[in-house]
Amino acid sequence: PIPEASESERDALGALAQRAQELHMRRRALVEEFLRAIGKPPASSNSRNPLETPWLLTEEEFTRRGNAKFISLYRDARDETTSLTEEITALEAEIDARVAGLYNL
């Protein structure tokens, strides 16, 4: 059964989910901006392209792909998306904990 949550708990969960979505959208916008800046149109990319996740891509992997001239753009994108990813992870962990609490887990 789905547990009942108080209005304040529903509001809090909703606000957390909204904030997480905003951060996901901001991170995606940064990734698309990064891809355009290095000459890789986002429309021609896909989720299996490591350039789609600069927060996971090492500097060595980036330069090995022949992108050394864009290293400063990569570093900026990596740092910004890493920061957003950390915020997203924390928010999602809080959402998970609150939902688990509703189920007394």
Task: Tell me the pLDDT tens digit for each residue of 4-51.
Answer: 889 999 999 999 999 999 999 999 999 999 999 999 999 999 989 999
66 band by pLDDT with thresholds 50, 70 and 90: confident
Query: How far lies 30's CA from each of 78, 81, 101, in Å?
Result: 10, 7, 34
Both tokens of residue 12? 């809090």
Residue 1 is predicted with a pLDDT of 67
First to last CA, the chain: 14
Q: What is the pTM of this model?
A: 0.90
pLDDT value at 67 more than 90: no
pLDDT value at 78 more than 70: yes
> Would you kindly state where each structural domain of the chain is located, as residue ranges?
7-100
